[in-house]
Amino acid sequence: MVLLPVLLTAQLQAQTKGSLKGIVTDYQNKAVPGASILLEPDHKMVIANKKGGFELQHLYTGTYQLKITAVGYTTYTAEAEVKESGNNILRIQLQTAENGLDEVNINSAHKNPDNLIDMINTIMPSTIITRKMIEQMGSRRLDEVLKEQTGLAMVSDIGSGSRAVGLQMQGFDSGYTMIMIDGQPMVGRNSGNLDLSRITVSNIERIEIIKGASSCLYGSEALAGVVNIVTRKNITQPQGLAALRYGSFNMVDATLEGETPFAGKKGSAFLSANFYRTDGFNSNPFLTEGKTAPPFDSYSMQGRARYSVNPVSTLNFNGRYSTRRSVNTKDFGTGPSTDILNEDDFNGSISFNNNFSNGTQLRTQYYLTCFQNRQDFTDMATGSLLTGSNFIQYLHRAEVQATHEFSNRLKLTGGAGTAYEYLDDVSYRGAKSMTNAFSYGQANWTLSSSVQLTGGARYDYHNKYGSKVNPSIGLRYTPFKNITFKAAIGTGFKTPNFQQLYMVFTNIQTGYTVLGSEEFAREIKILQEAGQIQNIWPIANRIGFLQPERSVSYSAGFTLTAIKSLKLDLNVFYNDIRNFINSEQVATKTSGQQVFSYINIAKAYLTGAEIGLNWAATPSLNINAGYQLLYAIDRGVIDSIKTGQGLYGQVYDTSLNTMRKSERSDYFGMANRSRHMANIKFSYNHKAGFTGSFRINYRSKYGFQEANRANNFLDNYDTFVSSYFLLNVSVQKTLYNKHLSVQLTADNVFDYRDQLMPAQQGRAILGGLTYKFFKD
């Protein structure tokens, strides 16, 4: 890697040059003077003149990423071709902004060659987090970025161990949000949670987020929404990057990147390597040794290559590999135990893209992902080795996507494919597999300059649960330039996963047992015959063949730009869920430990509202605020309380020391969900190369577990995680014509900790240096 800058620079000498001209207008074709035009990765910038015109000269020929920003308008991003003799004038039309600086609305100009589905056309609430925003935050892992976004929360599942942390979106657990890298789903969940701390942000170009039922296009894991991680691409010149950060908890984050075009820019290649380590941290005062968030070392590598076979066709290769090792010795005063974890994560794909002259795009892809987890516990007092989580999971996926623009008013996108998933887990009785086939379509129809209609549907066939069609429809209406209304209805369909069906697992450290619904009858009988069961709860009678979950998601809202520097965004959502799969305690062991299994809740709903406010106070200072109100309700609990009958008809009142009839005010809602979440961000960007961000995040109290006599719902006498604020600060200065940047980051400045939040680190202060190798 030491020779990388020299080799890259040498290739620059023989390349030809050209220019790029354009005109920037608004949706009424009026000039937008003062618009900022940035060409990446050359870092060249110009400002549009009073007629909206601009010109960039002395450019190397090839494909560039063009980014145009203007106050009051959404960011426009697209590819632009620079030719040696070409003098074509680009005509770029900006749309009125509908969201803030830190959460920019996705628009159709964000071309993603790894996915022809245009995420904005769902009409669901959608945001994008750019690479620049990630750098301003000073974040190192994906979970650190997402937890600061409105409507998203990182939640701990303590019952599944200190490593079980997942993303919650609009009240849905992590198993309902699809996490994708370059348009392809990730695997490797621990007790239903996908640990996002295993993903480095070093080579992320942007993060695309859709909130609301998106399974009509993305599949069964997208009932809550989709998070798509888009990695670096659009390589137009040789360049490299080296970055190093160090700070609290002995955190080390080191990155090397290199990229270059080849074969006369017909091809390009990118390679990135990252090393990350931390000593972990402890939030539990009763833990005399060890960490609630375990220490780990992680190595990640990612490569990408693209080659233009001909003017129409491009061949793409992508690969990502990461490994993580962790050793954590714990002692609660009853004797130490050591938890050893080894993880390997691989994603690879090959695709063939065709862009035909008639406007049709066709993409064929094969994708493979493999995740292996090996976790063991050792009782240090006896030296005995106890098997923990140990599994390997494969996903094979083949897919064809196509899109065609019939005119400026109608665009059709469709696709079809098949997927095979295999899991071999010591917690299951033998290896398990699932197969499904799918097809989907979406139409985006511009009825007039103010009305846009989007409709889509997906067909899924599952080898165990049969077939299902999920439609969706959305409407966007812009009666005036400064206000836009949006409304959407989407349906969702989610089949039970491996864990919910087949798991047979006992947590060695805490003693609780989890039994999949199809294994429950046999395994509970084995425990009874061994004399380990004290009693089986009546709710166990509801365990049986799990039905797929079905949901209907409604959302509506508006965006108001009162003045160019002030924008308000409001969205109301309601998710009606049938056959909601929930984990419930169904028995108690003679040792006092719990036995859990999975049942269908007939009816539940998640409803609330999100508000976003953005104010460009000055050309350098932007203030962005967000708030979410959430109600997560089991209708069965409400019905039982109303009638005074059933499982939830009574509550133990600790002030009276007796059981009494339940009242509606006794029911708080589903566990692990806050009623209120809010954030405010101050972002400063000075033309001299100084940037900074000051961010406050708030989460109100949420239910943790039963504390009084069990009545199977959260009441005011149970245990709650207290409400809290987190303050994060980051400052950065670029030097030497943006080649060198120096950054200082302080997370959780007030050092807030709670033993019920094992993954919440204490105060972390880090400093870092980044050097970019590119031709000025």
Q: What pLDDT sits at residue 362?
A: 93
Q: What pLDDT sits at residue 86?
A: 56
Q: What pLDDT sits at residue 267?
A: 87
Residue 34 in 3-state DSSP? coil
Q: List the structure tokens of 563.
A: 């003045």
In angstroms, the CA 486 to CA 160 distance is 39
Whether residue 7 is predicted with pLDDT greater than 70 in this model: the reply is: no
- For the stretch 453-494, pLDDT in tens is 988 898 989 898 888 898 988 898 989 888 989 998 888 888
Q: What pLDDT sits at residue 159?
A: 43
Q: What pLDDT sits at residue 671?
A: 82
Whether residue 35 is predicted with pLDDT greater than 80 in this model: the reply is: yes
Q: Which whole number is the average pLDDT over 365-386?
A: 80
Q: Which whole number is the average pLDDT over 666-678?
A: 90
Which has more confidence, 576 or 12?
A: 576
Residue 82 pairs with which residues in a beta bridge? 62
Whether residue 144 is predicted with pLDDT greater than 60 in this model: the reply is: yes
Q: What pLDDT sits at residue 1?
A: 42
DSSP 714-773: --TTSEEEPPEEEEEEEEEEEETTTTEEEEEEEESTT----TT-TT----EEEEEEEEEE
Q: What pLDDT sits at residue 709?
A: 64
- Binned at pLDDT 50, 70 and 90, residue 19 comes out as confident
Q: Which whole number is the average pLDDT over 168-189?
A: 77
Whether residue 108 is predicted with pLDDT greater than 60 in this model: the reply is: no
Q: Which whole number is the average pLDDT over 289-316?
A: 86
Q: What pLDDT sits at residue 122?
A: 55
- For the stretch 187-218, pLDDT in tens is 655 545 566 766 777 778 788 888 876 656 67
- In the chain, the amino acid numbered 149 is Q
In this structure, what DSSP letter does residue 449 have?
Answer: S
Residue 106 in 3-state DSSP? coil
Whether residue 14 is predicted with pLDDT greater than 50 in this model: the reply is: no
Q: CA distances (Å), 46 to each of 35, 297, 626, 739, in order?
A: 8, 43, 32, 19
Q: What pLDDT sits at residue 277?
A: 93
Contact 494, 177 (CB under 8 A): no
Q: CA distances (Å), 555 to each of 414, 454, 561, 571, 630, in order?
A: 24, 14, 20, 7, 14
Which has more confidence, 609 or 523?
A: 609
- For the stretch 612-642, pLDDT in tens is 998 988 888 989 999 999 999 988 889 888 8
Write out the E strands in 736-763: 740-747
Strands ordered across the beta sheet of 126-130: 126-130, 204-211, 225-231, 177-181, 184-185
Q: Is the peptide bond before 41 cis (omega within 30 degrees of 0)?
A: yes
In this structure, what DSSP letter does residue 200 have?
Answer: B
Whether residue 111 is predicted with pLDDT greater than 60 in this model: the reply is: no
- Comparing 527-541, 614-628, 663-677, the range with the smallest average pLDDT is 527-541
Which has more confidence, 322 or 101?
A: 322
Q: What pLDDT sits at residue 254?
A: 93
- For the stretch 60-96, pLDDT in tens is 677 777 888 876 677 788 878 777 665 567 888 887 6
Q: What pLDDT sits at residue 700?
A: 95
Whether residue 8 is predicted with pLDDT greater than 90 in this model: the reply is: no
- Comparing 30-39, 162-171, 395-404, the range with the smallest average pLDDT is 162-171
Q: Which whole number is the average pLDDT over 273-283?
A: 89
Q: What pLDDT sits at residue 418?
A: 95
Q: List the structure tokens of 362.
A: 């066709």
- State the pairing for strand pair 126-130/62-69: unpaired
Q: CA distances (Å), 587 to each of 158, 453, 536, 542, 597, in order?
A: 19, 51, 4, 13, 9
Distance of CA 587 to the CA centre of its chain: 35
Q: What pLDDT sits at residue 693?
A: 92
Q: What pLDDT sits at residue 173?
A: 79
- For the stretch 490-509, pLDDT in tens is 888 888 887 788 877 765 55
In angstroms, the CA 226 to CA 214 distance is 7
In this structure, what DSSP letter does residue 15 have?
Answer: -
Q: What pLDDT sits at residue 426?
A: 72
Q: List the structure tokens of 199.
A: 């993903």
In angstroms, the CA 379 to CA 711 distance is 35
Q: What pLDDT sits at residue 160?
A: 46
Q: What pLDDT sits at residue 495?
A: 83
- State the pairing for strand pair 89-93/17-25: parallel
- Binned at pLDDT 50, 70 and 90, residue 731 comes out as very high
Q: Which whole number is the average pLDDT over 125-142?
A: 79
Q: What pLDDT sits at residue 589?
A: 83
% residues pLDDT > 90 (the chain): 20
Q: Which whole number is the average pLDDT over 22-31?
A: 82
Chain position carrying tokens 């069609």: 469
Phi and psi at residue 266, in whole multiples of 5°?
-75, -25
- Comparing 143-147, 286-290, 416-420, 600-604, the range with the smallest average pLDDT is 286-290
Residue 619 in 3-state DSSP? coil
Residue 540 in 3-state DSSP? helix
Q: What is the mean pLDDT of the chain?
A: 81
- Comparing 144-148, 693-697, 712-716, the range with the smallest average pLDDT is 712-716
- For the stretch 47-64, pLDDT in tens is 888 888 988 877 767 777
- Binned at pLDDT 50, 70 and 90, residue 162 comes out as very low
Q: List the structure tokens of 168.
A: 């919650």
- Binned at pLDDT 50, 70 and 90, residue 109 comes out as very low
Whether residue 720 is predicted with pLDDT greater than 70 in this model: the reply is: yes
Q: What is the 3-state secondary structure (H, E, C) of 127-147?
A: EEEEHHHHHHHCCCEHHHHHC
- Comparing 314-323, 338-347, 687-696, 753-762, the range with the smallest average pLDDT is 753-762
Whether residue 348 is predicted with pLDDT greater than 60 in this model: the reply is: yes
Q: If phi over 0 gives left and psi between -120 and 50 gives alpha, with beta otherwise, what is residue 250? A: left
- Binned at pLDDT 50, 70 and 90, residue 10 comes out as very low
- State the pairing for strand pair 466-480/719-721: unpaired
Residue 546 pairs with which residues in a beta bridge? none
Distance of CA 222 to the CA centre of its chain: 11
% residues pLDDT > 70 (the chain): 83
- Binned at pLDDT 50, 70 and 90, residue 435 comes out as very high
